Amino acid sequence: GGDSAAGSGGNGGSDGTITMGFAQVGAESGWRTANTDSIKQSAEDAGVELQFSDAQQKQENQISAIRTYIQQKVDVIAFSPVVETGWDAVLQEAKAAGIPVILTDRAVDVQDDSLYVTFLGSDFVEEGQKAGQWLVDNAAEADADGDGDVNVVELQGTTGAAPAIDRKEGFEEVIADDDTISISQSQTGDFTRDGGKQVMEAFLQNEPEGIDVVYAHNDDMGLGAIEAIEAAGLTPGEDIKIITVDAVKDGMQALADGKINFIVECNPLLGPQLMELAEKVVAGEEVESRVVTEETTFTQEQAAEALPDRQY
Ligand code: AHR
C-alpha cells in the first residue's frame, strides 16, 4: 500500500490508506450484484476506503461520479464502463489530475491507451465463441422441430456495452462454420430479467413456431425468456434450447433443472484482484495492462454438481 509514500499526492492518505472511487454500472443483474458485493468486501478486507456509486446503467451518471472522484482527489478511480465509447474527455480529466484509472469488467474504446493503467476482466469474445461452439457441437439436437435448420433468437446485452458487442461477435464467428445455424431475430434486453422476458414475448409473437434456440448474453435475460416460453405453453430446455452467459446461482439452478442447456461462465468476483492492482498502481509499481479472468463452462450435469458450492 501507500505506507512509504505518506503525504505525497496520489500515493495514499497521510496514514497510508488508499481511497478508491468506484463507478459501478448499476444493479441490472445477479452478476452485477455479486460483482458489487465482491468489490465492497475486498475493499474492506484490504483496508481500502471505498467511495461507491451506482449509475443505474446510465453513462452520464458514471461520468458525473468520476468527476466527483476527481474533485475529491481519490488515490485511484476504478469503473466498469456501461458502454464502450464516449470516455475520452472524462478520462483526460482524471489523467490531468494525476489520478490513475483501472477498468474492471468492461473495456472502453478510446484513442489514447494511456488514459487507463490496466483492464481487469473477462474475454467476452471468447465467451461468445464458447457459446457458439456448444451450439455447433449440439446442432442436430438443438433442431427441435427437425426441419434441418437451427433457428436462433438472440437476446443482446446493453446496446454499446463491451459484453454485448463481443459476445455477439464471438458467437457469430463460430456459428458461421455451420450453414444449418442462423440467427432470425436479435434485440437488446438490456441485461435484465424483465427485458429478456419482454423481448422474448415479442420474438415468440413474430415467430410462434420455429424458434429452436435462445442465445441470451446473460443468465438474467435467459431467465426472463424462460418465463415467456412457459407462458406460451412451450417447454424451455426442450422445445427451445437456451444458452446463456454468467453462471450465477439462479442460472445454474435453471440449468440443473433442465430449463437452460448450457452456460458460459463469466466471473464476477473481481474484487480481490482489483484491490491488489490498486495497491500496486498507487505505490507506483508496474502492472500488466490486461488481466484476463479465468472461466469455465457448465452443462446441466456439471451445474447440478457445482451448485451446492456456488457462492453467488
Ligand atoms: O459486464 C458483465 C455483464 O454485465 C454480465 O455478464 C451481465 O450479467 C452484467 O449485467
Each residue of 116-159: pLDDT tens digit? 999 999 999 999 999 999 999 999 999 988 899 999 999 999 99
pLDDT in tens, 221-272: 999 999 999 999 999 999 999 999 999 999 999 999 999 999 999 999 999 9
Among all chains, which residue has been given the C-alpha cell 420474438? Answer: 203
Q: What pLDDT was estimated at residue 13?
A: 63
Q: What is the residue-averaged pLDDT of the chain? A: 95
Over residues 61-69, the mean pLDDT reads 98
Is residue 16 very low, low, confident or very high in pLDDT (cuts 50, 70, 90)? confident
Three-class secondary structure of residue 289 per DSSP: coil
Pocket test for ligand 1, best of 83, 266, 293 (most atoms within 8 A of CB): 266
Nearest to 251 by CA among 214, 221, 227: 221
Over residues 25-53, the mean pLDDT reads 98
Distance of CA 248 to the CA centre of its chain: 11
Please give the DSSP secondary-structure letter assigned to residue 294. Answer: P
Q: Please give the grid coordinates belonging to residue 235.
A: 417447454
Is the beta carbon of 163 within 6 A of some atom in ligand 1?
yes
Residue 82 has pLDDT above 60, yes or no: yes
Is the beta carbon of 61 within 6 A of some atom in ligand 1?
no
Question: Quick check: 125 and 143 in contact, CB under 8 A?
Answer: no
Please give the DSSP secondary-structure letter assigned to residue 293. Answer: P
Is the beta carbon of 62 within 6 A of some atom in ligand 1?
no
ipTM score here?
0.99
Is the beta carbon of 312 within 6 A of some atom in ligand 1?
no
Distance (angstroms) between ligand 1 centre and the Cα of 145 equals 32
Q: What pLDDT was estimated at residue 145?
A: 83
